[in-house]
Amino acid sequence: MSENLKKISISIRKNILLMAKSAGSSSAHIGGALSIADVMSVLVGEQMKLSSKKNGYSEDERDRIILSKGHGCLAYYAGLFEFGFLSKEDLVTFEKNGSELLGHPVRNKKKGIDFSTGSLGMGLSLGIGVALAAKKKNKSFSVYVILGDGECNEGSVWEAAMSAAHFKLDNVTIIIDNNNFQQTGSNEKIMSLGNIKSKWESFGWHTEQIDGNNIDEILSTFKKISEIKKPKAIIAKTIKGKGVSFIENNNVWHHSILTQKKYDEAINELNSFL
């Protein structure tokens, strides 16, 4: 299974690059999309119950995903493509006039996008509401929320964290993309998070810290926490731009245009991993 997921993660990265190159836009946020490609491959390829043409989960049964760090949407769209919600033709319309794939996710049920996100700090509150509604309606689906580490500077994140523990929402799992950068620099320089694992634990969450670019470790962690009756937080330590050497840990690629030459260079590098 993990070998197949590794192939999916490479495909996700290739499609991130394809969309960024097709858009020709500096707002594609390539680095922060590449850092969550491995997490996304596990979520859509193994962990989540999703309803699409590939299986029969109903609207009531299927799991929900909320990309709170909405600027990382290239990874989300690439994941939806892998699961059959989007076509290649959809992907190359990213950020073009008339496209349904915008620079932040906009709710579009037929494309598999359940929630509009992008205003940082709001996605977890949304996820808590969805998880609480599931409890009240006796529904068994799970809610997965992907946050950025810089996003945790927002106070609303911690209000939501308190709520999840208070309401004993064991049906919500967050994955924090801990790549140590945000838009204008490093977390350490802008607003240090300190010991982020202990912070989440102090708010009543079961918390694991893992290598967020190691698919085997991501898989084993989801399995490990599956029966824990508390809200769950996975601190995924990642490399911003993971998989493309000239983008890795280079925060210029939070906002940069991917030229054809750089696209070809990146695709050749990814092909070497297959």
184 DSSP assignment: T
* Residues 6+ positions from 61 with CB-CB distance below 8 Å: 49, 51, 139, 140, 141
Structure tokens at 232: 């769950």
Mean pLDDT estimate for the chain: 94
Percent of the chain with pLDDT over 90: 83
> Per-residue confidence at 26, pLDDT binned at 50, 70, 90?
confident
Domains of the chain: 2-271 (3.40.50.970)
**Is the pLDDT score of 270 beyond 80?**
yes
Structure tokens at 72: 């990382």
**Is the pLDDT score of 56 beyond 70?**
no
How far does CA 169 lie from the centroid of its chain?
A: 20
Question: In this structure, how many other beta carbons lie within 10 angstroms of the beta carbon of residue 195?
Answer: 12
CA distance 142 to 135: 10
Strand partners, 178: 237
For residue 2, the model assigns a pLDDT of 83
CA distance 201 to 205: 5
Decide: 19 and 73 in contact? Cβ < 8 Å. no
Q: Residue 29, by phi and psi: left (phi above 0), alpha (psi -120 to 50) or beta?
A: left
Q: Write phi, then psi, for 177 (nearest 5 degrees).
A: -75, 90
Long-range contacts of 25-29 (CB under 8 A, 24+ apart): 25/95, 25/103, 25/257, 26/255, 26/256, 26/257, 27/95, 27/103, 27/255, 28/74, 28/94, 28/95, 28/103, 28/258, 29/71, 29/72, 29/73, 29/74, 29/103, 29/254, 29/255
pLDDT tens digit string along 147-189?
999 999 999 999 999 999 999 999 999 999 999 998 888 888 8
Strand partners, 147: 176
- Between CA 221 and CA 225, with CA 223 as vertex, the angle to 5 degrees is 70
For residue 1, the model assigns a pLDDT of 60
Tell me the residue length of the chain: 274
- Residue 215: name the closest of 39, 54, 93, 83 by CA: 39
